[in-house]
Structure 1
Amino acid sequence: YWPAFLMSAGIPLPKRVFAHGFLFNRGEKMSKSVGNVIDPFTMVEHYGVDQVRYFFMREVPFGQDGNYSHEAIVNRTNADLANGLGNLAQRSLSMIAKNCGGAVPRRGELAEADTAILDQAIEALAVSRRAMAEQGIHLALAAIFSVVAEADRYFASQEPWALKKTNPERMETVLWTTAELVRRVTVLCQPFIPGSAAKLLDLLAVPVDKRAFEHVHADHALVPGTALPAPEGVFPRYVE
């Protein structure tokens, strides 16, 4: 009846109608009689607000039913946040603090591997925009964190810890590339994990007014020599 009411009143019909699905606890509908209802505030206190946000947006497609469990939340957030983005940031920033005087490293000539991984972040921005236009939140996050996984492989393959002895200049370029990639990815993560993303951008000394999607591009890259605060963990690993 609602469309008929709108039409009779001369009000334009909605172009989109959003509807959410159901959340299942270990495959079962939540019910007071069953006793499997979960307090979301307790969940946030237990896992962390950004971790809970990330899990549900990554695992449950918008408008569809979704399932969750303690194991699923721990596995996803540990894999993507703690062991993924968090570990990459911690390892690279710790090396920068130790070997580059606590400042953004000098950037030498970029190799093909460097530009390839940096370009992937730009591609993720385009994919994310298209996905979000159709409420594909999980697809946007999948695109972003696939770049994180590639960056982790890049960091491991370049072995900056070995370059410290054999080619210090190349070491700094690799560390700069990794830190810049972390910056780009973290800017993209802000709508989904705002608190954690802000902390990570603070660790990269990114000005508050340089954190919009338009700043993902190379024109706003990290400036060598910029002083960085002491690195610290942003995504603690969940341990039973």
Structure 2
Amino acid sequence: MENGRIKQAIEVIFETIRFGNKYFDAQQPWKTIHEKREACQNVLLTCVHIISNCTQLLAPFLPFSSEKVNEMLQLAPFSWQPIEKVAYQVFQVSPLFERIDVNLIEEELEKLRLNAK
């Protein structure tokens, strides 16, 4: 990002987010919470580390959403240093974005196609 490769920077951040999603799904903490509590806690901590650090990196691109996550995780102001907390408390969790109806997406794409002609 410091070298002006904004698109590449965003792609690397989203690769990390996708990795975190796959890791979460593979570890299945919703199952291991009863069998392996400490392992489950480690998985959740790892996922929150990914979320908090990616949030900090995305702040220049998604400032309002990043600030909402910052508030939910009660993080310190962003500082461009790795966030390495060992415990988190989550407060007032709410969706960052509204789900868009697939039909609405198709309608908008059709409008774009018609306008491009």
- TM interval, short-chain normalised: 0.7 to 0.9
Unaligned runs of 5+ in 2: 105-117
User: Based on CA coordinates, which of the two structures has the bigger radius of gyration?
Assistant: 1
State the shift of 1:228 in Å.
Answer: 2.5
Aligned match for 2:9, one of 119, 140, 156 = 140
Aligned match for 1:223, one of 86, 96, 103 = 86
For residues 162 and 237 of structure 1, the distance between their equivalents in structure 2, rounded to whole angstroms, comes to: 27
Q: Show the 5 A alignment for 1:1-240.
A: 128-129=1-2, 133=3, 135-208=4-77, 211-214=78-81, 216=82, 220-224=83-87, 226-239=88-101, 240=104
TM-score in terms of structure 1 length: 0.40
The change in CA–CA distance for 1:227 and 1:143 in structure 2 (over 3 A counts) is closer
The change in CA–CA distance for 1:227 and 1:155 in structure 2 (over 3 A counts) is closer
State the shift of 1:203 in Å.
Answer: 0.8
For residues 233 and 167 of structure 1, the distance between their equivalents in structure 2, rounded to whole angstroms, comes to: 29
Unaligned runs of 5+ in 1: 1-127
TM-score in terms of structure 2 length: 0.79
Question: Aligned Cα RMSD in Å?
Answer: 1.4
Aligned letter for 1:147?
Answer: T
Q: Secondary structure at the match of 1:230?
A: coil
For residues 85 and 95 of structure 2, the distance between their equivalents in structure 1, rounded to whole angstroms, comes to: 20
Structure 1's consecutive aligned runs of 4 or more residues displaced over 6 angstroms after TM superposition are none
Higher relative contact order (CA 8 A, sep 6+): 1
1:121-147, Cα deviation, whole Å (9 max, x unpaired): xxxxxxx33xxx1x3211111111011
